[in-house]
Every structure is written in structure tokens, then in C-alpha cells.
Structure 1
């Protein structure tokens, strides 16, 4: 259901409606004074509506049933309001049943993409990792209208990354109302972890306010195992870590409707994190055929503090009644991090007698990133086409300092240090044209980005500059054969620039035999993406995609069999091509069941530019399968339960590694009580404890087996309670759009 209010001249309009049957109602003081059914197939002018009342019309409402899944020319829309998952959970629960989205152990992936970005009401959220997950958990599923999955972002969005976008559209705030939610959760894995938070929303006349805050504190365990098969020795390593988490994030939004056609506002996000860890690493050195030659024991302690502050100011102007809009945005974010890692290593013989002690080593690092950007977008619909164009400028400055010291009697005996500055400035312009022809819908765009980068090491006096101009075309075609069948085709060219840490050449040691360093000569990655999709009734989606990636970079580990040194560096060392078929079926015809089944089969070919450090090439085929089933126990949908299952065959990774088979089973139970004001959920995650990191790699002809488990089997109990009051008096305030980039890792 959509609603709007009349302008002073009596004009009203609804945009972005899907074809279907609709009922238009005109209400006057809550009484229906006009109603008529319309079969909407294309844009339509309703003409003059006459009603037999003397007072002014207060509200117009359009109601209709949408499909669970809708296909638009440049995106797929999951209409959450038609799902049983629309209440009793949070946004992360919704993403678990969203097509093309995979959520495993609170890690969000977009199938077929190496990364993703998340927006809320068209506004990019500059958070990642656990910070992003905690923020999404603060949004109730009942507040979500739909979720847009954009696997091929249009020209208006930055061309950064082989990534897609997830745009979470929230329901409009009720008029003259306030609402609030408080929540808490406790998670028990090997250790315990607790979270608490709340949000408050207020709407009065022309003013809208929104505040949210979340706090998390607790422990988790990580176990990493590695076997390195040297020609004369086996190094068998096990690292057990205890990780402490302590984080706070908040979001503040103010929006004001200056005139019926002009609204402005500001958004401020703050995130603070203070994690630390202790780990014990034990490496057994064994000659083949012998139990133990010697033993290395390393004790590691790490502490860090990170802070993020992000400010966005915006103004949106509706120029006329034809839908022409001007959007102006200014953004700033500051990120700084302080990190300290200390380790101490002892060597023992086969009788466990200590034979050597390495001096303690202290690594200290600082990182500060400042970004300023401005963006102007214009939506200009014309008689036969819809035109969009705009420009953006971005200025980024990164300053990092690193120092490692060998300590003796608590004092620094020898020190290596560096200060590295990195700047990146980008100017972009774009244009996009959309045209509808009966059953066809076409969209084409072109984005040009001009980038200047400069990296400068103050200690080594190494300075690297890189200037380049790139064009990024996009194309879409959608054919709706009828109400039940649609076909779509898309193409895009994209770029992925190195993150700010990867270009820093400073060397960081984790133990006497292992270190890593950045690479100031890293080149950006270029990719080409082609997708063809078929949709049947919003229930069945079939997608074929083809992907080419050139000059991919990743961490490349070299292993020296003579001194057993393992050193890692970011390098552009492989090209990748992939073919894949994705199938998904959704079923929601029964009131007591909603189910989805998805599977992807992918062929991956990778050619290395780092031979003989790595094999010359690698190719292979793998299959992933997932299903989510929810069972509802009552007509009011107050009680439900279900399960999610994932399975993956052995796979090939783009950086020339071989992944092992894995599967995961999760259970959940949800209840809504006290007139649906309180929500209770119980989640049991990774029951089989078989969804961990397991990869085999060959470097310099030496085989290594790597495995990692990060406390993903747990039980979590969550509670939330809603408060709110509303009295309809004034008109709605529209949510706004914004975009901002972030490559913090």
C-alpha cells in the first residue's frame, strides 16, 4: 500500500509502481469519498478526479498485491512485506532469504561478486565487517519495505570494485509519530558475547529525526592450523587465539522539508572499536619419519583502537511535477586506527629443553584516512526517455606510521620504522538513458573517472605516482513477455583500486619466520561482467553470468626452503575468468510455509603471472547449494521455526588455491508476544561445526594446508521490544538518497 497527500493545486503522483491491478481511494477525514480499480500496464494520467465534498482532500491511497520477487531493468526487488520473514527478526534475517545473497556466520556475500556494499534508503553505509553486521541487526525486519539487489550497478554509482549493491528500503515514517525499539542478545560459543542497543524515530510536521546506538562486548575463540611440507621437514603449526570485542556505533539523522519540493538533511555516523587478543602459536618441526626435531612457541598479544566519523549533508529539489529532481550531497569521513602487536618466541629441542629465545618484538602502527567528496545528480525525464546525469569529486589522504622494535630488558635494541603518505583524488562524470518500448525496457550508461594517486615513503624516499582515465559503460535490456515471464541482460565494466593498507611497503613481522608487506606499485583491477536472467512469476530465477578479471591482486606468500622464511606481499599476479549458472526457487503459497532453494554451479579458470612461485594455471568446477525453510504455527504469524542448510563441493579459489568440501546447518525459532511488541528469537548456528576455512596452496613447489575455525558454532538468544505512538495530522517526509565510498580494511 502506498499513500500520498495532495499538493496545493490538487496534483498528486505515484512513481515506481509495478504493473498490476490497483485500487485508488480518496479519503476525506478517514472516509472513502472515491474509489476505482485500474489495471496498470504503463504510465497513466488519471485526469481530474471529482468528489462530492466541500473540504479539501487530505489523503490518497493506492493498494495492490506485489509479487514476492520483481525484476526491474537494472535490479531485482525482494518485496519483504509479502514474506513471513517481514516480522519477528532483523535485516540480517531478511538477507538470508533474499535471492543472490548468502549469509553464513554473519558474513554477507553477493553470489558471483567478490565484494558488496550496503545502502539504506539509497544511502551508502560506510561500515564493514562486524560493524556493518551489528548495524544491520539494529534494524527491525518489520520496518523494511523491500530489498533491492543490484548485481550490475548503473552509471550513477561508482565503478569501484567487482561488487554489487544491496539497497534496503525502509517504510516511510508515520505522520506525526514517534517510535522506539530496544534490544539485547547473548551469544554462547566457546566463550560468551553480548549486545545491546536501541533506536528512536520522530516525525512531526516537516521534521524527521532518527537516532540509533549499539554496544557489543564479549569473547570468541579462533583456531588456525597450518602444515607446510618442506622437502626435508614438516612444519605443523597450531595457533589458538582468544579475541576480545568491545564496540560502540551510533547513527543520527535529521531531515527537514523546507518546502513541498525541497528537503534537506544531515546524517552522522560514529563507530568506536577496541578489540584485543592473546594467542599461543606452537609449531612442531618434524623430519619425515621422525616424531619431533624441535618446537617453536610464540606468544602474541595484540591491541587496537579504531574510530570512524562520517558526515553527510544533502539537499534534494523536486523541480517540477514531471519528476525532474536535483540532488546535491557533500560527504566527509575520518578513520583512524592505532594497533600494537607484541610477540615472544622460544625454541625447544625434541626433549622440550629450551635451546634458544628470540628477543621480544613490538610492532606499532597508526593509520588515519580523511576523505572529502561532493556529488550532484540530476534526474531529467523527457517525453520518450528518462535521462540521468551527474558528477562527483573525491579527495582522499592517508597517513600511516609503522615501527617494529626488538626489545632487550624492556628497551628497544633495534628499530625499523616508516611513515607512508598516500593520496587519491578522483573526478567522475556520468550519463544514463532509459527507454521503454512496449514490452521492452532499455537502459545504457557511461561513466568516466579520472584518478590521480601518489604514495610517498618518508624514510626510504620512495615516491610513486599514477594517473589514469578510465571509461565504464553499462547496458541493460529487460523483456517482459507477459505477467509471468521476463528476461534480462546486463553488461558492465568495473575497476577495483587497492585498499589503503595494501600499498604501504612497510614490513610487519608476526614471528621470526614470517612477515608481510604492502606494495606501492599495485595496479587497479579491471573486470567485465555479463549476466542473463530469466524470471517466472517471481518464484523461479535462472541466471547465467560470465566474468573476466584482469591483473587481480591478492596476498602472495613465498616460501624459502633453505631458511624456512615465509613472506607475504600484495601483488597483481593472476587473471581470472568464470562461468556460472544460478537457480533459485521460492515458495510462499501456503500460510504455514515459506521455503527457498538455491544452487550455483561455477567453472573457474585462473592463469598465474607469478609462475614458478605458483602453478601456471588452475581450473575447476564446483557447486554450492542452500535452502531456507520457515514453518509458521499460527495464523497471526506469532510463532515460527525453521532451518537453513548450506553445502559446497571442493572448490577452486581465484588466488590459485583449492578449497575443501564444507556444509552448515542452522536452526531458528521466533516468537512475538504482547501484541507483537516483544520479539524473541533463538538461533543455533553451525550445528555440524563443518563450515570453516580449509585451503590447500602450492607456493615455490612447496605444499601447505591451511585451516581456520572462528567460533561459528554457537547459541544466541535475542530480545527486542517496540514502543511507539502516532496521531495522523501532517504529511509524510520522504527519505533521501546519498552515496559514499569506503575501502577501509
Structure 2
């Protein structure tokens, strides 16, 4: 912390006055000036860097540095306007006339809207506003509707790439797996502006995540206004879940403030089915679980302009979950003749909870007309508890009690805290744009696992199955990135990130310490070529790392019954991936991508079985090198003025080689993934959404996976001049989107697993918007460019 404060102290004297260039103009229709038209300014990379809205007389003014920009103007009911301009001095665009775009067709009114999918040099931008099925939902559901992204088995995956990390407004969320999903469920989709899908992230971003990054861009308040959105929704599956969300935005003069609170309560139903084919007979486990969904979360964010060059800000997020659940597990054991030999019934209750808090402080300043410097300080604190009481009894096939199979209490607690410090500099040069920066992060994790034997009725501590595991991970990184627009057709971008990592894991029970230190380079490269107005091409490459989750490193066991348990692996090492992608865009309507993803030292779950003792052991191992490849097609179609369709089709393949002597044979096959999202405009204020997705059965390395599909219907009605919305969603109508036939064969034992977690439900949502778009403010030039850039 002292080093960071010293760095800020040394840099502040460099801040100097600079005169920005003014870009101004007026927006009007053929009849009158247009107020509240959105003006956005993009740089040569296509990234939106600034923006504003027009005043009552249609005028606008933006301060920019010298350079070439694309000016985009949009207003509901009018055609979009685009213009590329070179800013070398104060520029007046004059009066720009927008043409009306409202079309009448069989009493159906179609109004101008943003493109659902936009292709940029290094990312795909998915705009949510056209998808009715996300109304009243959460961030996890919104991510699952993004093109080429799949949420399955607690993992968020870019097709053909692997598991992705998630960011909010460019800041990494230090959660993974189930905990990340729970956190994303606490964020309202109504609070999301768009989602960036970055399959090969530039050097500026952390190299963590073989599947790239999903960046959620949150909405910001409109200048000189305040707005409040309240959402009430109810989901009905076997049980019911109620949700209440409220989001507030305030933006006046130099001050911007937002706050949100989200609450959810109810129950989910989950079923699990596992068949293990041991040499002496089948063991079939089936469980039903009633999961309590109880969540409370909130967010506070504020930004303040210290001057026209400098902005400071602060964010605080808090999320609490209490997903207690009761499970009834039945295990049927069969003999050689496939006759039922005995039955084990496991009755268990789990008291589970988690809490995480995130703090961010940031400063953004312009050193001069070209250079911009930003600092971020982040603190993340996560804690979870797991307390499971269970009794497993053995019975004859006639359900006559034999004995106690196992009776115990598993207690597991985990605490993680992370500090990170980051500085980024944008430093345009005459020949190319340069950016560079540095980041330090410090992570501490403590995991406790305690096991009590309760077979006698009195809990007895079992030290051999209890453990305290401490883990630290420190990372230092520097990066440099350059991009250049060679001419009107060619753009190049290159980056290099250097990360130095030190880890230490210590098991108190085993008195065992594991350390790992490594220094790695992560290069990135992008090239784009615009052949003509209709055709553009891009090529990119990036190297990534995938570090194990902290909880996977704890070496101790959590039992299902005496013959089935899960354990961590303190020797897990990170895996690495090299990602290549070539893409083509035709009229920004048809996008084709060809990609290859090479993984070295890959790790994952291994369902190991011991045929001698009929025991199942769920472990985590670095067990393979892999090659994933595929071709993806995305087609944006307007079949009629009232029918907009987004479609994706992927052909995926893989090759796998086992590297640690695992007793299994790798197998691979082709996978087909198809998604179609269709929006129908039934009237000026009425929309219907019909979505379908299908993923074929496939084999990949150790596993074979069954098909997954979903058919969803959504409906939205705007009322009271769009201040009130009513939405309905029927999700996974045919109940086919769950994990099926997840099959592996290790040590000659075949295991087939299926899991269904209440994906079929109906949802009714009511959204109410109110506010004031015309706060009286002191007239002044639009000087808060920095935070506007951060908003995009």
C-alpha cells in the first residue's frame, strides 16, 4: 500500500493543464430540433470513448484530442447517422438532419433500435435490449443468451474456448464456479447495458481464463437526470421464487451516483442420477434435493469530477447467499444377476451460506491533450460455510434395517481476501497508439474441513479426516500494447503481458507445504482488414493461463456415503492455452470464425472408481493435453419489418492426450451447437420472443455428454408511455436443458451421471420506471469526458 501511495504522490506533479478541441453541432429533423439524441464517438479501434445527448435546441458539444473518429447519432424513431471525421482544430458539424424511420405495416410500428450483435476488432458486443427473455431476469441468464456463450455445470464457456472469467465494467470478479453463478444471479439484467465477449483479451487484461473474458457493462445515468427502476418477478417451477430489485441513478453536474438492492427468496428442486457399473454389479444412486434460494445483495457507486481533467470514484458491492438444502439419497446395489442386493438410504441436511464484499476506488486524469492515466485499488473479501449432517442406513431389498452405513457431520469453512493495485496509461504517439500499465495482487485463502463421526449418537472428532489448509497467491504483472491504423483498410494491434506468480499451500494436518513460482509471458496479436464496405477480415492470437480454484487445492474429503467422496488436490498446477482465430464479416450480418485452442497441462474433475472396494472418488488432476477447434457462423437477419432473428451455428471438435497415466482411453467426436433467437414486434408496445437452442451429444477426452436443448417463449408489453412493463417467460418448456448422460470409464468402471436443476419454469415480471430527465443545472460545457469514457 505504501508503494502505491508513493507512486500516486510522484505522478500527481505531472498533471498539467491542456486545451482539448471542441466538436459541436446541432441535430434536427426536417421539422424541428431534436432533444435527447444520443451522440457517441468511437476511436480507430471501434471502441466508444465518449458521448453525450443533445440539449433542448438540438445542440451538443464534446471535448476531444486530435485524431480520427467515427461520430454516431441515434434517436428512437429516426435512422442512425454515422460520419467519420478528422479533428485537428475546433470543429462545427453544423446542422445534421435525421430521417424518420418509423414504418407502418399492418398496424405494426417498428422503431429504430441498436444492433443486437456488433463486431469489434477484439470483441463481440451483445446488446440486451432486443431480447425479451432477459426482461426481469439476472446477469447469469443474460450471459446465457449471448451468441457463442453457454452456461452449463456451473461453468460459463465461450464455445470452443473453455471456461471464461467474468468482469464487471472491466474489473475481474474474484469468484468462480457455483459462487460466481450465485453472484451473477443477484444482478438485475435491467441494470446491464451490454455484454462484451472477448475470446482473446488484449494484454491490458489479466491472462487468467482459457476461455477468454465476459465483460458486463453496467448502465450509467443519463446526464442531468435521475431515474429509478423497480422490478418484481415470480418464478414457478416445482416450487416458487420471488424477486424484488430496485436500481437508482442520479447524475448532476460533477456528481454521479447509483445504488441498487436485490432480494430473492424461494425454493428450487434438483435431482441427481448416478449409475456406476462395478464388476460385481450396478450401483445406482438417485437423489432429490429441495434447495432454499435466499439472496440479498446491493451496490453503491459514485463518481465526482475534481476538475475537467480529473475524476475520482468509489464502488461497493455486497452479496449474501443462504442456499440451505435437504437431500434424500437412495443407493440401490445389484449383484451379478442384476438382482437388488441391498439399499442404502442417506438422509441429509446442509446449512450453507456465503458472503462477499468488493470495494473499488479509482482515479482517472488527463495528463495532457493526449495522455490519460488511471489508478484502481480493489479489495475483495469472500467467506463461505458448509455444515452437513447425514445418516446413511443399509437395508435389505425388503427395506428391513441392517445397520448404519455411515453417520457423520461435515463442516467446511473458507475465507478468501484479495488486494489488487493497478495503473494504466493511454499514451498516443504520432505513429501509433501506445498503452501500458502494471498490476499487483495479493490473495490469502484459509480452508477448514472438520469431520465428526456421529454413529454412536455422540459426535466424535476424526482428526484424520479434518484439516486446515492455508494458501497464498501473489501476482505481479506489467503490460504494453500498441495499435496502429496503417491505412483505411488495415489495422494492427500487438501486446505483451508479463506475469510473475508465487503460490504457497500448507496443510496443517499433513504438515505438508507446496510452493510454486513461475514467470510467464503472454503475447497477443490482432490484425483486421476491411476489403470493402461489405467484407472485413480479422486474425488474432493470444496465450492464456487457467489457475485452479482455491477450494480445489484443499486435500481433504467431503463424503456422500462411506463408498463415495470428493477430495481436493494440493498439487494441482495451472494449465495454459494458445488461442488462434480467423474471422470474416459480411455486411455485419453474416460472421464466420475459424478457431483453434491448444491446451497444455489441462486439469479437471476425474470420477475415479476402485472396483475392488466399489468406491467412487471424485478428484481433480492435471491429466491431459488437448486441442479444440471449430467453425462458427452467426447470422443476423431481418426477415420482415416485424421479425428480427439472431442465429448461431457451431461445428466443434477436439483431440485429447492423457499425460499422467490415468487408466482410461480418450475419445473425441464432432459437436454441433445451434441457437436461434427471434423477436416479433406485435405492436408499438408489444414484443414476442421465441428462442431455441440445441447442442448435440459429443465425446471429448475423458467424457461423453448427452444432448441439451431448450425452447423458450417470452412476451413483453409496455404501458403508460413505457414507464411500466409487464413480461412473461416460459423457460425450457420441454424440460430438456439439463445435464444428461455424462459418461466416463476409469479403471474399467463405467459411470453415467445426470443432473436436473429446475431449468423449466415460468416467470412473471413487472418493471416500473420513473424519474426526471431535466434536473435544473448550472449551464456549463460538457467537461466530464473521463467518466463518460468509463461508461462505455
TM-score (structure 2 length as normaliser): 0.84
Deviation sequence 1:679-714 (CA, Å, 0-9, x none): 111111111112221211101011111111111111
Does 1:16 find its partner at 2:42?
A: yes
Paired residue for 1:55?
none
Deviation sequence 1:366-388 (CA, Å, 0-9, x none): 11111111000001111110001
Paired residue for 2:502?
452
Deviation sequence 1:498-522 (CA, Å, 0-9, x none): 1101111122222111112111111
Residue 490 of structure 1: which of 540, 553, 558 is its match?
540
Within 5 Å, give how 1:219-298 maps onto structure 2.
Answer: 219-298=267-346
Task: Give distance in 1, aligned partners of 2:516 and 2:455.
Answer: 42
Deviation sequence 1:107-129 (CA, Å, 0-9, x none): 85422232223434334455654
CA shift, 1:571, in A, is 0.9
- Summarize the Cα distance change of 1:37–1:735 in structure 2 as closer, same or farther, 3 Å threshold: closer
Deviation sequence 1:179-227 (CA, Å, 0-9, x none): 1011111111111111111011111211111100101111111111111
Task: Give distance in 2, aligned partners of 1:29 and 1:283.
Answer: 71
Paired residue for 2:716?
670
Residue 205 of structure 2: which of 149, 153, 157 is its match?
157
Paired residue for 1:547?
597
- Give SS of 1:160's match: coil
Task: Give distance in 1, aligned partners of 2:163 and 2:457.
Answer: 43
Within 5 Å, give how 1:20-35 maps onto structure 2.
Answer: 30=57
Task: Give distance in 2, aligned partners of 1:444 and 1:491.
Answer: 10
When the two chains are superposed, the root-mean-square deviation of aligned CA atoms in Å is 3.2
- Summarize the Cα distance change of 1:153–1:440 in structure 2 as closer, same or farther, 3 Å threshold: same
- Summarize the Cα distance change of 1:515–1:167 in structure 2 as closer, same or farther, 3 Å threshold: closer
- Summarize the Cα distance change of 1:513–1:573 in structure 2 as closer, same or farther, 3 Å threshold: same
Paired residue for 1:186?
234
Task: Give distance in 2, aligned partners of 1:621 and 1:400.
Answer: 40
Structure 2: where are the runs of 5+ without partners? 1-17, 25-39, 62-69, 73-80, 100-111
- Summarize the Cα distance change of 1:44–1:164 in structure 2 as closer, same or farther, 3 Å threshold: same
Task: Give distance in 2, aligned partners of 1:86 and 1:239.
Answer: 31
CA shift, 1:738, in A, is 8.6
Within 5 Å, give how 1:429-578 maps onto structure 2.
Answer: 429-438=478-487, 439-578=489-628
CA contact (8 A) 1:475 1:490 kept: yes
Residue 692 of structure 1: which of 729, 738, 749 is its match?
738
Paired residue for 1:44?
86
Paired residue for 1:701?
748
Task: Give distance in 2, aligned partners of 1:466 and 1:32.
Answer: 59
- Give SS of 2:349's match: strand
Paired residue for 1:321?
369
Task: Give distance in 2, aligned partners of 1:540 and 1:606.
Answer: 31
- Give SS of 2:398's match: coil
- Give SS of 2:87's match: coil
- Summarize the Cα distance change of 1:70–1:50 in structure 2 as closer, same or farther, 3 Å threshold: closer
Task: Give distance in 2, aligned partners of 1:67 and 1:669.
Answer: 20
Task: Give distance in 2, aligned partners of 1:221 and 1:33.
Answer: 54
Task: Give distance in 2, aligned partners of 1:37 and 1:367.
Answer: 50
- Summarize the Cα distance change of 1:135–1:737 in structure 2 as closer, same or farther, 3 Å threshold: farther
Paired residue for 2:37?
none
- Summarize the Cα distance change of 1:137–1:109 in structure 2 as closer, same or farther, 3 Å threshold: farther
- Give SS of 1:465's match: strand
- Give SS of 1:502's match: helix
CA shift, 1:481, in A, is 0.9
CA shift, 1:410, in A, is 3.8
Moved more, 272-281 or 38-47: 38-47
- Summarize the Cα distance change of 1:385–1:243 in structure 2 as closer, same or farther, 3 Å threshold: same
Task: Give distance in 2, aligned partners of 1:279 and 1:351.
Answer: 22
Deviation sequence 1:44-95 (CA, Å, 0-9, x none): 026445799xxxxxx99999998654433222334567x4769966675765
Does 1:205 find its partner at 2:216?
A: no
Task: Give distance in 2, aligned partners of 1:65 and 1:664.
Answer: 27
Task: Give distance in 2, aligned partners of 1:737 and 1:160.
Answer: 25
Residue 121 of structure 1: which of 169, 175, 200 is its match?
169
- Give SS of 1:464's match: strand
Paired residue for 2:78?
none
Deviation sequence 1:268-306 (CA, Å, 0-9, x none): 010111111111111111113343111111112111121
Task: Give distance in 1, aligned partners of 2:250 and 2:52.
Answer: 27
TM-score (structure 1 length as normaliser): 0.89
Alignment length, in residue pairs? 715
- Give SS of 2:261's match: strand
Task: Give distance in 2, aligned partners of 1:737 and 1:435.
Answer: 20
- Give SS of 1:501's match: helix
- Summarize the Cα distance change of 1:279–1:68 in structure 2 as closer, same or farther, 3 Å threshold: closer
Task: Give distance in 2, aligned partners of 1:28 and 1:460.
Answer: 69
Within 5 Å, give how 1:41-440 maps onto structure 2.
Answer: 44-45=86-87, 47-49=89-91, 69-78=117-126, 83=130, 95=143, 98-102=146-150, 109-126=157-174, 129-140=180-191, 144=193, 146-170=194-218, 172-322=220-370, 324-416=371-463, 417-438=466-487, 439-440=489-490
- Summarize the Cα distance change of 1:65–1:401 in structure 2 as closer, same or farther, 3 Å threshold: closer
- Summarize the Cα distance change of 1:372–1:201 in structure 2 as closer, same or farther, 3 Å threshold: same
Paired residue for 1:596?
646
- Give SS of 1:139's match: helix
- Summarize the Cα distance change of 1:37–1:470 in structure 2 as closer, same or farther, 3 Å threshold: closer
Deviation sequence 1:431-452 (CA, Å, 0-9, x none): 0110111111100100000000
